[in-house]
């Protein structure tokens, strides 16, 4: 959420002697708020099954290569 505000007021006056008076005032304000929700990642059971299946296949392939040579 971002909220910004700006107010400006200005005036100019002149006199016959060639003097010029200028006044300008500004006021700015802002607010920034960041909110988030932290959720820890919990692996699904399928993730563990795929990991173990991959490790088992890697073990089988390694064992087959050793026995052929």
What are the CA-CA distances from residue 46 to residues 18, 41, 49, 50 (Å)?
85, 14, 5, 6
Question: How do residues 13-55 score in pLDDT, each as one tens digit?
Answer: 666 666 666 666 666 666 777 777 778 788 788 889 999 999 9
Mean per-residue pLDDT, 1-24: 65
Q: Looking at the predicted structure, is the pLDDT value of residue 5 above 90? A: no
Q: Where are the alpha helices (DSSP H) in the chain?
A: 45-68
**Residue-number span of the structural domain to which 61 is assigned:** 2-36+44-68
Q: What pLDDT shows up at residue 53?
A: 95
Q: What pLDDT shows up at residue 58?
A: 93
Identify the residue with better confidence: 68 or 3: 3
How many structural domains does the chain have?
Answer: 1
Q: What pLDDT shows up at residue 25?
A: 65
* Other CB atoms within 10 A of residue 47 CB: 10
Task: Read off the DSSP letter of residue 16.
Answer: T
Q: Kindly tell me the sign of the dihedral angle through the C-alpha atoms of 56, 60, 61, 62.
A: positive
């Amino acid at each position: 959420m971002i909220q910004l505000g700006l107010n400006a007021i200005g005036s100019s006056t002149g006199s016959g002697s060639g003097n010029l008076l200028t006044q300008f005032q500004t006021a700015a304000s802002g607010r920034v708020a960041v909110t988030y929700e932290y959720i820890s990642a919990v692996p699904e059971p399928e993730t563990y099954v795929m990991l173990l299946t991959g490790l088992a296949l890697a073990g089988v392939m390694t064992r087959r290569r050793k026995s052929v040579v």
